[in-house]
Copies of this chain bind each other. A is one copy, B any other.
Amino acid sequence: MSGLPPEDRLVELLESRYRARRRDVLLGIGDDAAIIQASGPIAVSNDVLVEGVDFLPDTDPRRLGMKALAVNLSDLAAMGAAPLHALLALGMPPRTGLDWFEAFHDGFRSSAGEYGVAVIGGDLSSSPTLFASVTVLGKPAAAGFLTRSGAKAGDELWVSGTLGASAAGLRLLLEGYRLVGDEGVRGPSGRLLRSAHTPEIRRLIRHQLSPRPMVELGTTLAERSLATAAIDISDGLSRDLHRLCRASGTGAVVERDALPADSAIPELSKLLGMDPVATALYGGEDYGLLFSVPRQKSASVTRLAGRFALRRIGALTAGPAVLLAARGRTEPIPDAGFDHFPKETA
Contact = CB atoms under 8 A, between A and B. Distances in A.
A232 B44 contact: no
B46 A87 contact: yes
Interface string A164-178: 000000000000000
Contacts of A61: none
Contact of A50 (B40, B41, B127, B344): B127
Contacts of A40: 37-39
Interface residues of A, number: 79
Interface string A156-199: 00000000000000000000000000000000000000000000
A136 B36 CA distance: 13
A33 interface: yes
Interface in A1-50: 1-2, 4-8, 10, 26-27, 30-48, 50
29 contacts: A6-B339, A7-B339, A7-B340, A8-B335, A27-B145, A31-B149, A31-B247, A32-B76, A32-B79, A33-B44, A34-B43, A35-B79, A35-B140, A36-B42, A36-B44, A37-B42, A38-B40, A38-B41, A39-B39, A44-B135, A46-B88, A46-B89, A48-B91, A48-B123, A48-B133, A91-B129, A124-B341, A128-B129, A129-B131
Interface of A: 1-2, 4-8, 10, 26-27, 30-48, 50, 52-54, 74-76, 78-79, 81, 85, 87-89, 91-92, 120-129, 131, 133, 135-138, 140, 145, 147-149, 231-232, 239, 243, 247, 335, 339-344, 346
